[in-house]
Structures are given as structure tokens and as C-alpha cells.
Amino acid sequence: MHLMARLVVVVVAALFAFGSVTAWSQPASVEPSHPLRATDTSSPRATLTTFLSAVDEVYRDFSREGRSFESEAERRALAARILRCLDLSEVPESVDVGVGRETAACLKEVLDRIELAPEDSWPDAEQVDQEGLTKWAVSDTEIVIQRVKEGPREGEFLFSPETVDRAADFYELVKNLPYKERQYVTPGLYQLYLSEPGWLLPRSLIQGLPSWAHVRLLGQAIWQWCGLILTIGVSLALMVAIYYFGRWRTSHLRPNWLRYLVMLVSPLTAMLVPLGALYFLEQHVRISGTVLLVISYLSWLIFLLTLMVVLLGAGNYLAALIIATPWIKPHGLDSQWVRLVCRVGSILAAIIVFLEGGQQFGIPLTTLVASAGVCGLAVALAAQDTLKNVFGSIMVTLDKPFQVGDRIVAKGYDGIVEEIGLRSTKLRLLTGHQVSIPNDDMARCDIENVSRRPHIRGVAKIQIPSDTPTAKVKRAVQIVRDALHEHEGMKEAYPPRVFLRDVNESSTGIVLFYWYHPANYWEFLAFTEQLNIQVMGQFEAERIPFASPALTVHLPENERTEIDMRSER
């Protein structure tokens, strides 16, 4: 049963993906019979003639039987020619096709019901050049065809943005008027556009529904509302199934980069679901009007959000892939910078998607940039300490005073560097405790890198009694020098040094210096132990004593006087 359920999920997802890809891949800008034929919008006459003839062809295609995927593609090509007659520059890109199609249906219904001037009186390209015409009202109505002043379609004559915006109102004013008897009249086009299903839904099935299923409620037929609810339900169930399926499968995957890769499949598939649902509702259920606008906004919003999730996840996946390479230490600062750069890159990509998506929804770019700037300023003010630590990590990166595995002394802490993060550096102290030091402090404090010492210097002082004969003192110095002669770990550039340095009333001091290579602390201690035992044995054999430790007490004057007074008593 589980296997069957997974197969059903995959098949339904494939159907939605096919629908989405189909919607993108159709030849929406050219007519199949004339692949290079351009839409003539050089004058009001050319635009109006193109509009009327193209709508008439679409109407005749709607009315014929035996519809198929190929006929639907031809109809979309004709619809593209119709949309090119409309100035949709003020309509959000996410809904411009749906709005344009409904506008075209309303305008055609209006033009079929009003008296039009003879075609030869419509301004052509020659008249436009002679009179410098920039605007023309159709038969003294508020339907205006005007020249585009700027943008990619500059100089073309299109139905104005105001006409596009008021097309539905124009239709409501004339919908009770009779149709005129002339060429290119399309009776019932608007109702046909609203209720005619796409080629995936058999026309006979929709026409065979009870009469109540064709009753219109809020601009949609009852059967269209049923199709809308069913499609939304299936889409939501499919997205939830994809989410939980991806989450269940990825929780057991290793290594991390493979888990990140599989995690991207879930949002990538979820991206196609809302677009597939929108395509099905718009092209086959024929949802229109305000309902289509709302569904389009929500579908594209979900698409943009999932796309942002994909981009952010792609940053993590790319970082995990790079860190998995053998030349990157998983807990080093390089790996942290790889994560940071990939994360910043993915965030920038998500911001670009956000800005572009906002324009799709009709929000001006300046407003989006200003909003992003305010949010960025608020985040910067709220995260001052974090930003200071990030800049501190930049300084540590440039200077490289230590790396993971080094033993360092910083701010009084002596330990091994375990992890170098963007905010702090973690040390494992010699006591076993872990301490985190902010990178801002690490960039400003003095750091002693013990691991980078080329050698370990040993310093010792041997005290012998001051009454020891001079011959034995000389012998003591020689014993120490012989013990250090060409000792283990010595390099020629660092010979040992032994001197009789301190002579006082209580003892005589012999000071010795030696350098051990390489800087292995435990081997150094083992050698020091061997050296001490050898010197002690030689001193014992030569009967050279060690001085007992002397204790000197310094007292203030008042305490000293008090002690003296007590002595006199």
C-alpha cells in the first residue's frame, strides 16, 4: 500500500509538472501558419482590424467540435496576437494574460453592439504620419487607441491602459443591446469565454451537467467552483505529501551534501504544483475575473516563496559539497567562510527573486528597494555585536594568527583551538573545559601561538652551597656542560649555554639554557627528566651538595621594632 501511495504521488506530480511545462512551452507569440508574421499595430486601423479578425478566428475555433492539444496551441497563438493589441503595461505580469483575455472578450462584445464608422475612415499609417496622430477614439466612445510613448513597444498603436482597465464596465453598460449585423460579429463570446472548458475537459461532459451547475455565482459557474475547490484540495494534498515524503527520506541520508541535494527535490517539485494548478484552472476550468486574479497571485506567491527556499537550500548544498573536499577542514575558518559566501550568495539570489517577483505583482521597484533598505538597516542596528564579530573573523582570516588544532594563549586562556566560527572561536583548555571567545576580542587581543614555536627552550638554575670549594664548583659546571653536550634535539644553531651566574652569602647558582627540536612537549619533558637524573647522579658521585632553599622575610619597620623590643625583654 505504501508503494502504491508513492506511485500515485509521483504520477500526480508528473501530471502537474507536465501541465506547468506545457503552459511555458507553447508557442504563445506567433501563429503556426505564419511563424514570422508580426502583429500589425502601426496605426489605429491596423490595430482594430487585427483585433477584430483575430478574435473572430478564436471564436470560430471555440465553436467547432473535435478540439485537441494542437487546436489549443493554435488558439493560444491567435490569443497572443489579440493581446499584442492591448497596452498591458500597467497590469502585473503575473496576471497580464488572464486580464488581457477577459479584456479582449469584453471589448469585442462592446464593439459588436455599437455602431462603428466605416473602415476606410479609420486612421491608417499614412494619415498618422501626415497628421501626427497619437490618439484615436473608436466611434466617439471612450474606447481609445493611442500610440505608446516609451518602452519596448514605443511607437505602436494599442488599446490604452485606461481602456483595458474599464473594459468590463463598458461591457456592463452595453450587454443588453442587440448585436449589429456586420462582419466579424461574435455573439455570446464573453459567456463562451467564461464557461467553455479547455481541451482536457470534454465539452459534452460540461454541457451534460444539470442546469444548476451552470448558474453563475460571483462570476463563475457552479461547475467551475467545484473544479476550483477540487483542484486546490488536490494541490494542497500533493504539496503536503511531497513535503513529508522528502522530510522522511532525507532524515536518514548521509553524508550531508547528499541530504541537501535530496532536500532540494521537495521544494523544486512543490514549485511546479501551484503553476500546474493555475494552468489547469485558467486554461481548462476557465476561471476568470477577480477569482482568477486571486488564484494567480497566490500561485505565483507560493512559487516565489518555494523558489526562495530552493535558492537558500542550494547555498547550503553547495557549501556542504565544497567542505566535503579533502583540502577544506570541516571546523576551520575556511569552511566557515565557504558557508558564509554560499549563504550570502543564496540570500542575494533570493533577494533578486523577491524584487523581480514584486514587480510581477505590480509593486514598484523603488518601493521594494526602499523596504529592503529599511529592513537591512533595522537588522544592522539590531545585530551590531554580531557584525563586529563577523568583521573580527575577517581580520582573523586575513592575519591567520592561528588555525584549528593550534595551541594558543589568548585573554589568559591556554588551550587547543577546536572551532573557528563567524561569531566566536572555541578553545579546549588544558583542564578539559571549553571556552568561547568572541572574534572581535580575538582580533584585538595579544595571541601567543604555542604550536608555531620552532623549538622548546629549557631554562634551569642549580643552587649549591656558598661554602662549596671552588674546585667542586668548577666540576659542577663541567658536569652540567657535559650532560648537555650534543644533547638530544639539539641543532648547531642553538647550542646549550651553562654559566656560573649567582654568587651570594647563602648559595652559588649555575644557570643553564638549552633548546629542544622539534617542539614536542612530551618528548621535551622526557629528555628533561633524563637530564635531571643524570646531573643528580653525577653530583652525588662527586659529593657535590645542593643548597637548601633559603627563606628571607622582609618586615615593616614598626613590626621589626616590636620584635626587637620583645627580644630585649
What is the Cα–Cα distance from 530 to 483, expressed in whole angstroms?
10
Report residue 293's pLDDT band, with 50, 70 and 90 as the boundaries.
confident
pLDDT, one tens digit per residue, over 322-349 is 776 666 666 555 666 677 777 778 878 8
* pLDDT tens string 506-543: 889 999 999 999 988 899 999 999 999 999 999 999 99
CA-closest candidate to residue 185, choices 60, 46, 84, 41: 60
Q: Report whether 429 contacts 414 (CB < 8 A).
A: yes
- 46 versus 188: the higher-pLDDT residue is 46
User: What average pLDDT does range 401-425 have in this prediction?
Assistant: 86
Q: How far apart are CA 107 and CA 139, in angstroms?
A: 13
- Cβ–Cβ < 8 Å for 26, 76: yes
Instruction: Specify the pLDDT at position 366.
Output: 62
CATH class of 390-451: mainly beta
Task: Give per-residue pLDDT as tens, 167-208.
Answer: 989 999 998 999 998 888 888 888 777 667 776 787 778 777
- Residue 448 corresponds to which cell in the numbers above? 601567543
Q: What is the pLDDT of residues 305-328, one digit of tens each?
A: 878 877 777 777 777 777 766 666
Band of pLDDT at residue 566, cut at 50, 70 and 90: very low
- Mean pLDDT, to the nearest integer, of 460-478? 92
Give percent above pLDDT 90 in the chain: 29
For residues 215 and 544, the model is more confident at 544
Crossing angle (nearest 10°) for helices 333-360 and 384-399? 130
437 and 485 in contact (C-beta within 8 Å)? no
- 4-38: pLDDT as tens digits: 344 333 334 444 443 433 333 333 333 444 544 57
Rounded Cα gap, residues 24 and 150, in angstroms: 28
CA 293 vs CA 92, 101, 228, 304: distances in Å? 10, 12, 13, 16
Q: Where is 449: in which H helix or E strand?
A: strand 447-449
Cα separation of the two ends of the chain: 108
Burial of 295 by CB count in 10 Å (0-12 exposed, 13-18 middle, 19+ buried)? buried
Written as one string, the DSSP assignment of 311-342 is HHHHHHHHHHHHHTSTTS-TTSHHHHHHHHHH
- Tell me the three state secondary structure of residue 511: strand
Q: At residue 551, does pLDDT exceed 70?
A: no
User: Residue 401 is placed in which grid cell?
Assistant: 594568527
pLDDT for 377-398, tens place per residue? 666 555 566 667 677 777 777 7
Separation CA 363–CA 494 (nearest Å): 74
- 458-473: average pLDDT: 91
All 3 cell numbers of residue 136? 484615436
CATH code: domain 453-541 is 3.30.70.100
What pLDDT is attached to residue 500? 92
Stretch among 137-146, 195-204, 366-375, 429-438 having the lowest mean pLDDT: 366-375
| Residue 502 predicted with pLDDT over 70 | yes
Helices (H), ranges, 384-518: 384-399, 439-444, 470-484
The two beta strands, 220-221 and 434-438, are unpaired
Q: What is the pLDDT of residue 496?
A: 94
The number of angstroms, rounded, from the C-alpha of 340 to the middle of its chain's C-alpha atoms is 11
Q: What is the mean pLDDT of residues 272-301?
A: 82
Which residues have a Cβ under 8 Å from the Cβ of 560 and sit 6 or more positions away? none
| Residue 4, pLDDT score | 38
Per the model's pLDDT, the better-predicted residue between 334 and 352 turns out to be: 352
**pLDDT band at residue 363, thresholds of 50, 70 and 90?**
low
Q: Which of 58-62, 64-68, 361-365, 547-551 has the highest mean pLDDT?
A: 58-62
Pick the residue with more confidence: 240 or 255?
A: 240
Q: Which sequence spans correspond to the domains of the chain?
A: 31-196, 222-353, 390-451, 453-541
With cell 500589425, the residue in question is 40
pLDDT (tens digit per residue) in 232-249: 999 888 888 877 776 665
Tell me what pLDDT residue 256 has: 57
Question: Left (φ > 0), alpha (ψ -120 to 50) or beta: where does 56 sit?
Answer: alpha
> How far is 219 from 478, CA to CA, in rounded Å?
111
Q: Residue range 390-417: average pLDDT?
A: 84
Distance CA 85, CA 41 (A): 7
Higher pLDDT, 355 or 100: 100
Choose from 200-204, 209-213, 251-255, 405-409 the range with maximum mean pLDDT: 405-409
Of residues 468 and 394, more confidence is placed in 468
Question: Which residue from 135, 158, 171, 152 is spatially nearest to 50, judged by alpha carbons?
Answer: 158
